[in-house]
Amino acid sequence: MVASPAARRSAPSTSGDREPPKKRRRSKSPKDTREPIIFKSPGLKPDVRLTVVGQVFHVHSIILKLHSNFFRKFLDSADKVAAPASVSFQYDYVSVFDADGAWGLEPAAAKATSSSSEKSLAEYPEAQAREIEPFRKLLCSMYTRPYTINDVFELLTLVRLADYYCALPNLSGTISTALLGSPMFERKACLRESDSDASGYTPGSEDSYLTEFVQRAGEIILAAKKLRHPILFRECFIHLVSALHGCYSLSLQALRNDKDLWLVLNEGKSSLRNKILRTQHFILMICLDRHLEEDLRLDMRNAYFQRHPEYCSMGYRQLLAILDKEKHFKAIRSIEELLQNNLALDRTNFGAGEGPYTNRYLCAELADEDMPWDAAESDW
């Protein structure tokens, strides 16, 4: 089986101490010939060849060792056979596969054990593409080359690879730009949400679709915590707090199992509810005013009182349009705080109470010092 990240981090710098992989085979090159992807660095000649699911990469050992604890430990392991002087690459690694399809890199010279019943990912073009591009982007992060994350699957795969190759700190430090330009935060990335959403949300118009990122925030926040990336974590946090006990049933158990994360989410939910209660107080005080115009009272009832307060962001937005700015300034200020949009990556151009966020709040706050990890730790 593929070694766990903890095992790779704690392993000595000799691969001879590792248990030999069971039922693994090297990936076969696909029928179509792929041009090698060459990463260049001024004054350096590529001395490493990596064959990843049929795709060849020419890279530099000094870069790999600098940014990956995996390569730092195993490229120059004690039992590694030295490459002949005539060979172009000092290091030659290929992807090998477990019976369950998990893969990792091992020296090409190593004798591979295989089973006739096994199949390689290289035999499946779709699976091949899903692994090659995230791996290329992991290398881009090491070389500080620009890259963009196209969808949630690619993001989760990239974090998984960075975790396996012990390169999470490097990826965390380079991924911000890739997230800011990602199409997964745009409206065209929106998907239908289930009619059975416990929050009371019902899909309707084109604008009432949630992005895949929002729908899978429960999965992504676990990757963001592993990556220790405050911006990505906070983006998921805001979406999850808004519907913590309603949506995300598929990832709810995984969130509960992480005690630190579950505590942070519940504290965020409590803070949101306090904001809602404070705003409700001001609205109630307005309604108790016996001098309130009957037309305004009726408009307030239609906009606000027919909805559950936790799913009433659209109602609060409607109240802003009908309340008197001079008479009801306290209520207006409280509503504006409740409708504040704290998202940093979202590109739908909608706020709380609008479009896909008709019944959601986006005002949850989380300081960097309250993130569920040790910010002082530089290698994890």
Taking a C-beta distance cutoff of 8 angstroms, is the pair 242, 360 a contact? Answer: yes
Record the tokens describing residue 84, joined without a space.
């002949």
**Does 241 have pLDDT greater than 60?**
yes
**Does 217 have pLDDT greater than 80?**
yes
Instruction: Give the model's pLDDT for residue 196.
Output: 38
- With cut-offs at 50, 70 and 90, classify the pLDDT of residue 205: very low
- With cut-offs at 50, 70 and 90, classify the pLDDT of residue 358: confident
Record the tokens describing residue 193, joined without a space.
């949400």
**Does 203 have pLDDT greater than 50?**
no
Average pLDDT for residues 187-196, to the nearest whole number? 52
Cα distance between residue 91 and residue 64, in whole Å = 11
Instruction: Give the model's pLDDT for residue 244.
Output: 64
Q: What is the separation of C-alpha 241 from the centre of its chain, rounded to a whole number of angstroms?
A: 16
Question: Cα dihedral angle (289, 291, 293, 298), rounded to 10 degrees?
Answer: 30
Instruction: Give the model's pLDDT for residue 83.
Output: 62
Mean pLDDT of all residues belonging to the chain: 80
**Does 297 have pLDDT greater than 70?**
yes
**Does 39 have pLDDT greater than 70?**
yes
**Does 31 have pLDDT greater than 70?**
no
> Of 3, 18, 8, which is closest to residue 380 (Cα–Cα)?
8
**Does 38 have pLDDT greater than 60?**
yes
Q: What is the pLDDT of residues 143-172, one digit of tens each?
A: 999 999 999 999 999 999 999 999 999 999
Instruction: Give the model's pLDDT for residue 152.
Output: 94
Predicted structure pTM score:
0.81
Amino acid at residue number 281: H
Instruction: Give the model's pLDDT for residue 303.
Output: 66
Helices 125-142 and 152-164: angle between axes, nearest 10 degrees: 60
Instruction: Give the model's pLDDT for residue 33.
Output: 66
- With cut-offs at 50, 70 and 90, classify the pLDDT of residue 234: very high
